Amino acid sequence: MDFFPHQLRIGPVTISPATVLAPMAGVTDTVFRRFIRDLGGCGLMMTEFTSSHGVSAARRATGNKPNRTVERYLAFHPSEHPISAQIFGSDPEVMADAARVCQDLGFDILDINFGCPVNKVVKCNGGSGLLRDLPLVEQILRKVRAAITIPLTCKFRAGWNDRELVMVEMARLSQECGLQAVALHPRTREQGYSGKADWNHIAAIKSAVRIPVIGNGDIITPEDAVRMINETGCDAIMVGRTASSNPWIFRQIAQYLETGRYDQPTHLERYEIMKTYYGLLMDRREYDAIGKMKQFATYFTHGVRGGALLRAAIYQAQEAARIVELVDEFFTPEAAPSPAFTPRYPAPVDRPPQLA
């Protein structure tokens, strides 16, 4: 087995193993993070990226009392430690205020998002929009660094486009401003999530700075995780979209490092994870529980025989309890997908044609 770091140190915080769950909007809430933690193999949890303006405004409105923004985006369970909160924004004062809120909430690390490519974030000069304004990035980093005592990190893309690559400048600036680690998704903002992540960009910033570098992008299998470490020299790996459809990926990486092989999830495990996740959503009475149940049905039944029928049935269901019933109906007592599954809500037959 090639080299893979056993742990990562971010300031005083030890991340072991050296694997990180990437922040994903609409995905990495406390329920999802908890069962990633329970499955094993993930060293650091990260929240969904959260608006600094929302956090700051909520603090001004309610003081230290619980509020909807904090409960929705920044709630976490003690079992999730170590955990990092990720915020975004472009106003240094507001970012600093939001950072203090996150520290007061008990997060181990604070991360700043300079990578989100979504238009509504970029239009406000947030996320990857800031990659075109490094002087403002410096103001934000210095203001936030001075506001908190917990470790500060940031995650960014390679640049706005292939002609404006700034990953090395971003990494060096982060180090100069006192950050304890950086994470790179080596695509540009213009790429979005298309094309291939250029791991050479990760190697470039690793050779340019002394602080730890976390690599992110196109890690689909445990072999990819090991290959990224060996090709780039990065200090840890971060997994995002793969974890949403294969939450066992971190456990598989750990198994691969120990034995040179790894198990694929059984149908029983897929069934149990859907039931567990849905149960947690219902227990927390999440306001968007039904939407998330539908969203994750797509993820969790990926590659399951007959899964399209189940997904179509769940999509048309209107109650959380009915969605759970559909999952139970789909799987036999042995948790193998039932070939005779006939949902109460059949798949629609009059869908408009899909654009290529």
> At 306, phi and psi to the nearest 5?
80, 5
Asked if 113 contacts 28 with a C-beta cutoff of 8 angstroms, the reply is no
Tell me, what DSSP letter sits at residue 79?
G
> At 210, phi and psi to the nearest 5?
-95, -20
> Residues 6 or more apart from 304 whose CB is under 8 A from it?
267, 270, 310, 337
Is 154 a known active-site residue?
no
Tell me, what DSSP letter sits at residue 320?
H
Helix (H) or strand (E) holding 270: helix 267-284
As beta bridge partners, residue 114 has: 156
How is the beta sheet containing 152-159 ordered, strand by strand? 19-21, 236-239, 213-216, 181-188, 152-159, 109-114, 83-88, 45-51
Q: Per the structure block, which two tokens stand in for 172? A: 């060096």
Asked if 256 contacts 28 with a C-beta cutoff of 8 angstroms, the reply is no
Q: How far, in Å, are 27, 92, 122 from residue 135 at the CA level?
A: 32, 11, 17
Q: Please pick, among 116, 154, 177, 234, the residue that the annotation labels catalytic.
A: 116
Cα-to-chain-centroid distance, residue 149? 24
Active-site residue numbers? 116
